[in-house]
Amino acid sequence: MSDPVPASGTVHWIGAGLSTGSGLAALCEAADRVRLWHRTGPRAAEALDALGLTGRAEPRAYDPDALTAELAPGDVVVSMLPATEHPALLALCVQERAHFACSSYVSDAVLEQVPEARAAGVVVLTEAGLDPGIDHLFAHSLVARARTAIGDDTAASYSLTSYCGGVPAEPNDFRYRFSWAPFGVLNALRSPARYIDDGSETTAERPWEATRRHVVDGEAFEVYPNRDSVPFVEQYGLPAGWKPRTFVRGTLRLDGWLRAWDDVFAELRVGDDTRIAALARELAAAYPTTDADRDRVVLAVSLDVHAGPDRTWSGAYLLDLVGDPDESAMARCVSRTLALGVRHVLDGSLPPGLNRAAETAARSEEWLGELSREGVHFTLRIDQ
């Protein structure tokens, strides 16, 4: 493994969308220099003013050539752009020997650049937001605690569920408000989900058809599987001798969501991309998140292990936050987690190559402690 390129102390935060919150302010404290790149210079300046950061970060008009001209070895590029933009940004970072960070899942196009990044001493930080991000921290912490209590060599079965959702703090009839790309919300529902149920791998071609009732801290929600959960069995370090009864990472919605969206699902079954894009625009206009609305983020991760009738262990993390007039709950969770990861790039504690929010129990505990001290609050319950 190559030595990491020493961090220069300069951070380039690219994009000032809905997930850019107080994490950017935290980086203004930690970094020597922060530049906010947005569609135009005036838009960047407006975003800084809205965040109370005028004079603490430099506004820039985003253009790949302009970024290249200002990028130096050891700088950190933080991408808040859509995931499709990340591969090109990462390639630029490798070329200029700058570090790269984002909150998105690792794509194949990013993954194939990791060997070159590692050889160049470049840190690639991904999955460092809310989901993915804090959910990984919770899962690694629970698995480590269960392994200590039960033992790696003990035959056992387990259920791990991880559900996350951004929902209205004040429920409406539609049981949802759109705060980010509406087409992305609908398109995710059209993508098959793979997970483990009753001990067997299962695929839901239409994830909403696998919706179940799920009670969190006495409150009923509706949940459904999302993406491919199965690779995370290995990523979370579950012992080979423990057999999964249930393993699912999914989306959480308010109780009554399935019924409220019945007409939407009818269109998802038959609509093509053009119709779904039009439907997304219609729904976003009908159910927007306005300045008067407050969002709520709920992330519930639980692990139950059974090693015999008299030997069980259960643990659960719950994050339940409501936004305020200064910042949405989603922006707080995503931006503060990402900023925490960037601070660890700046202090040289992350190695070159691919890093996720948490890949060890020790790092998970460290990051969870830091997030809690910085206003991202959660609870842990353990029964054994």
**Catalytic residue IDs:** 131
3-state DSSP assignment of residue 95: helix
Cα(212)–Cα(69) distance, integer angstroms:
51
Q: Rounded to 5 degrees, what are φ and ψ at 361?
A: -65, -40
Coil, strand, or helix at residue 316?
A: strand
Whether 225 and 234 have beta carbons less than 8 Å apart is answered as: no
Contact 381, 138 (CB under 8 A): no
CA distance 334 to 102: 10
Which of helix, strand or coil describes residue 295? strand
Other C-beta atoms lying within 10 Å of the C-beta of residue 272 = 7
* Residue 91: both structure tokens together: 């390639």
Which amino acid is residue 326, in one-letter code? D
- Say whether 98 sits in a helix, a strand or coil: coil
Look up residue 191 and give its two tokens. 């993508």
